[in-house]
Structure 1
Amino acid sequence: MKGSLDTYKLLEFILENKADFENSLLNEASNVKEKIEEILTVGNIDLINNAHRLIQYIIEAKEQELQSFATQEGIAWATHAIPLTFKLEWVQAIRRTLWRFLQEYNKVNNKVITEEFFSVEKQVNNQVDRFLNVFFITYSQYKDSLIMAQKELVENLSVPIIPITPTICILPLIGAVDLYRTNILEEKVLIEIGKLRIQTLIMDLSGIMEIEAEVIDHLMKIIDGTSLMGCTTVITGLRAEVVRSMINVGIRLNEKAQTLGTLQQALNKYLLS
């Protein structure tokens, strides 16, 4: 650290008073204090040891190590979805505790900081703020990447196209089908038809309990799209509730696609014939 302070002696002073330092830190962060063991268990994040590590980087002005550590911490906290309020409280507690020990160190060594105080103050606060800045940016970016990865996984699971022959695929739809899901369905179905050269797509709707009129309309447009790509769509497993919804909006599936009562019937027809 620049100024009149001997960095080695200051770190040695903190180490000699480690228990007092840690007690002071915990008292400054009362909310985090109750979560230390939980954070260690959930995220394998040792807050106490990490505090000592951060303080060393601050005192020794190791900016590259500090930023790398902030990046590492941001990824860890984002991965385990640990609330940011705890991190903010903890780092501010580190800042206050470090300042307390700077004062104690100067009393013990009979040092009077005058002009040097401002350079020390700037050094410490800038380093802490830099750590927080890198941490929050990394946390946000990594959290966004996790959300996108999870979203892609959910999208792929929500539209599982299963090849059963080189030209025949099954698309079983289960659960609620809304406009968002049908948009995913449209994109993936058309891409997979072109990529796999699917000639017959068996769309099993036995897992769909109900469907909105606007979703039905969108579904029909998807079937039109598959037809334009030379693929025949076969609908199986329509429930009475879904059929009534289609009748109410005037849709006749026989004009758009072939229909069969069950998936088993479709498999018998297209695989065994």
Structure 2
Amino acid sequence: MNVTTTSKIDKYILNNREEFQSLLLSEASNVATKINSILEEGNIDLLKNAEKIALFVAGNKREELIDFAEVEGISWAKHSLTLALKLEWIHALRRTLWHLLRENNPLNSNSKSLTDFYELEQNINDGIDEFLNNFFISYSKYKDELIMTQRNLVEHLSVPIIPVSASIAILPMIGSFDSYRMDIIKEKILNEISRLRASVLIMDLSGIPEMDEYTISNFQKVLNGVTLMGTKSILTGLSPQLANKMIQLGWGIEKDIEIKGTLQHALNDYLVVNSK
């Protein structure tokens, strides 16, 4: 890039931060309404990050730009933020940089000036495209690795149903649960109940702080399946967050399902009863 022009753009961004942000926000109306929610949800400051990207692009700092794109891709993937918003935001940044380029290097009839201008504009496009390319590679790589890790965990999962008496078994549920893992667990639970001939299954949820709405719905199906097998379900270790989510979803406790505060309470009650 032409050093003089890029220096002007850099200085403008640094010295007129509010005007730069205002111009950028006017170019991205949909994202502008979600700035605060993205900051709260993913701890991602879009305005601050956009300034950093703009300075990397304007300064032709490609290594820094690529490194930052990779970090951004992982952050966006971790918090499952909408990619459409990211595209709109980066394209708005592209248009903002075009605007600043025109303001600092207006077209005239001088052929050299025209050549320099189009070269500068091409460099801006290349920088933005390089950011997007590395962002999406990083985003996809993180998501693919996450999916593979979860699938491997599920596929090699041995549902740890622990028999504690001739008729009572415990299922400690630990870690993150999505609908895919819940489906696999449902199948294995039903097979294990049949094999063990368990009349009571104690499911300890103390290792699960939270489930999403869809997974809770699938968990209800697991409990229904256990009931259809003629086995009584006892839930223990419900966290306040999970209990509150169930209440919000209008989940009523079926008569065949019992709730105990802790696994120890359930064992004390049922082992004592069965030992008499």
TM-score by length of 2: 0.59
- Where do 1:76-225 residues align within 5 Å? 76-107=75-106, 113-151=113-151, 159-162=159-162, 172=171, 180-181=184-185, 202=196, 204=198, 206-207=200-201, 209-210=224-225
**1:60 Cα deviation after fit:** 1.3
Q: Which amino acid aligns with 1:9?
A: K
1:56-67 equivalences under 5 Å are 56-67=55-66
* Whole-Å separation in 2 of the counterparts to 1:172 and 1:117: 68
- Largest Rg, 1 or 2: 1
1:214-250 deviation per Cα after TM superposition (whole angstroms, max 9, x unaligned): xx9xxxxxxxxxxxxxxxxxxxx647xxxxxxxxxxx
Deviation at residue 79 of structure 1 after TM alignment: 0.9
Whether contact under 8 Å (1:155, 1:184) holds in the other structure is no
8 Å CA contact retained: 1:13, 1:105: no
Compared CA separation, residues 75 and 204, structure 1 to 2 (3 A): farther
1:51-91 Cα deviation digits (max 9, x unpaired): 11001111111111111100110111111111111110000
Report the secondary structure of 1:82's partner residue: coil
- Distance (Å, rounded) in 1 between the aligned partners of 2:183 and 2:97: 55
Q: Is there any run of 5+ residues in structure 1 with no aligned partner, and where? A: 190-200, 217-236, 240-262, 269-273
Q: Any stretches of 5+ residues in structure 2 without a counterpart?
A: 174-178, 202-222, 233-269
Q: Are 2:47 and 1:44 equivalent residues in the alignment?
A: no
Closer, same or farther: CA 5–210 of 1 in aligned 2, 3 Å: same
TM score, norm. by length of structure 1: 0.60
Report the Cα offset of residue 155 of structure 1.
6.8
Instruction: Find the counterpart in structure 2 of residue 71 from structure 1.
Output: 70
Report deviation, 1:140.
Answer: 1.6
For residues 179 and 103 of structure 1, the distance between their equivalents in structure 2, rounded to whole angstroms, comes to: 57
Match of 2:19 in 1: 20
Amino acid at match of 1:22: Q
Tell me if structure 1 keeps the 8 A contact 2:154–2:184. no
Report % sequence identity. Answer: 40
Per-residue CA shift, 1:166-202, capped at 9, x if unaligned? xxx956499x99984477679xx9xxxxxxxxxxx85
Deviation at 1:42, TM superposition (A): 1.2
Number of residues of Structure 1 aligned to a counterpart in Structure 2: 207
Distance in structure 1 (CA, Å) of the matches to 2:73 and 2:182: 35
Cα distance change on mapping 1:103 and 1:6 into 2, 3 Å: closer
